């Protein structure tokens, strides 16, 4: 039985096929009538009948360091965004503004911090819209300052530096380490997209983030994947 990729934004029937499984969130990988959430690569490997991938190799400490690097880079890039471009779509086929994406890079971090306090990582938690007080790149970068400081404080006081304890997510109970890794590369992927937006505007990103900078994270191959 073959696997199939369905883009629910481009294929109107794609969402109906997703709903037939009784789920409302993506990514989902299905094979016949069986499905798993795509966030857990070990589950995807089991469904495909292949050997599960090994962990990326970064320790939680290294991931926190990498995340701080990514968020600091995001601050540089959002400050370069023209204010009059902030409400334009980040990508043509998705109703998400550049301002939303700029905020979202840091909101992922805030959502993670809420999970460390016992909240569930729901789909909605990292996907709230920016408040009206966050209109410019400078304002969003200042919000990012607070998130970076809070992540640093959390790591400095964490009781279990292995982060093996499990936390609730919309795709089941998962080790904190895996949620940390997912949030780190999630922010990093959007940073790649911010650089692409700047390049679209013929603005050279200030000190670009390279593939080497993101080594060890399970990054998608494409910038807009």
Q: What is the DSSP letter of 206?
A: S
Predicted confidence band of residue 121 (pLDDT cuts 50, 70, 90) = very high
Cα pseudo-dihedral 149, 106, 129, 94, rounded to 10: 180
Architecture of 60-200 per CATH? Up-down Bundle (1.20)
Do 65 and 180 contact (CB within 8 A), yes or no?
Answer: no
The DSSP output letter for 21 is T
* pTM for this predicted structure: 0.81
For residues 118-126, average pLDDT: 95
Cβ neighbours of residue 47 closer than 8 Å, sequence gap 6 or more = 29, 31, 34, 35, 36
Please state, in angstroms and rounded to a whole number, the distance separating the CA atoms of residues 76 and 83. 14
9 pLDDT more than 60: no
- Cβ-based neighbour number of residue 30 at 10 Å: 18
156-172: pLDDT as tens digits: 999 999 999 999 999 88
Chain region(s) in the chain for CATH 1.20.120.450: 60-200
CA–CA gap between residue 113 and residue 191 (Å, rounded): 19
Give the pLDDT of residue 57. Answer: 75
The CA angle 92-204-126, to the nearest 5 degrees, is: 50
Q: Which two tokens stand for residue 85?
A: 């471009």
List the end-to-end C-alpha distance of the chain, in Å, as a whole number: 24
Mean pLDDT of 97-125: 97
Summarised one tens digit per residue, pLDDT across range 144-157 is 999 999 999 999 99
Dump pLDDT digits (tens) for 41-92. Answer: 555 555 556 655 545 479 999 999 999 999 999 999 999 999 999 999 999 8
Q: What is the DSSP string of 73-138?
A: HHHHHHHHS-GGGTTSEEETTEEEEHHHHHHHHHHHHHHHHHHHTT--B-SSGGGPPPPTT--SHH
Q: Does residue 107 contact residue 128 with C-beta atoms inside 8 Å?
A: yes
Residue 94: the pLDDT is 86
- Residue 51: DSSP 8-state: P
Question: Exposed, middle or buried by CB within 10 Å (0-12, 13-18, 19+), for 186?
Answer: buried
């Amino acid at each position: 039985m073959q696997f199939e990729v369905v883009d629910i934004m481009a294929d109107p029937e794609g969402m109906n096929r997703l709903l037939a499984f009784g789920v409302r969130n993506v990514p989902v990988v299905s094979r016949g009538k069986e499905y798993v959430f795509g966030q857990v690569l070990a589950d995807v490997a089991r469904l495909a009948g292949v050997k599960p991938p090994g962990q990326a190799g970064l320790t939680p400490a290294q991931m926190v360091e990498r995340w701080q690097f990514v968020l600091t880079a995001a601050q540089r890039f959002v400050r370069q965004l023209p204010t009059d471009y902030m409400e334009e779509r980040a990508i043509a086929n998705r109703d998400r503004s550049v301002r939303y994406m700029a905020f979202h890079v840091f909101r992922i971090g805030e959502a993670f911090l809420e999970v460390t306090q016992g909240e569930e990582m729901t789909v909605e938690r990292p996907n709230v819209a920016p408040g009206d007080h966050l209109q410019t790149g400078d304002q969003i970068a200042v919000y990012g300052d607070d998130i970076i400081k809070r992540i640093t404080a959390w790591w400095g006081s964490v009781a279990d530096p292995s982060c093996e304890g499990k936390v609730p997510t919309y795709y089941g109970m998962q080790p904190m380490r895996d949620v940390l890794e997912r949030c780190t590369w999630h922010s990093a992927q959007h940073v790649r997209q911010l650089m692409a937006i700047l390049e679209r505007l013929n603005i050279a990103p200030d000190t670009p983030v390279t593939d080497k900078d993101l080594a060890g994270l399970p990054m998608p191959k494409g910038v807009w994947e």
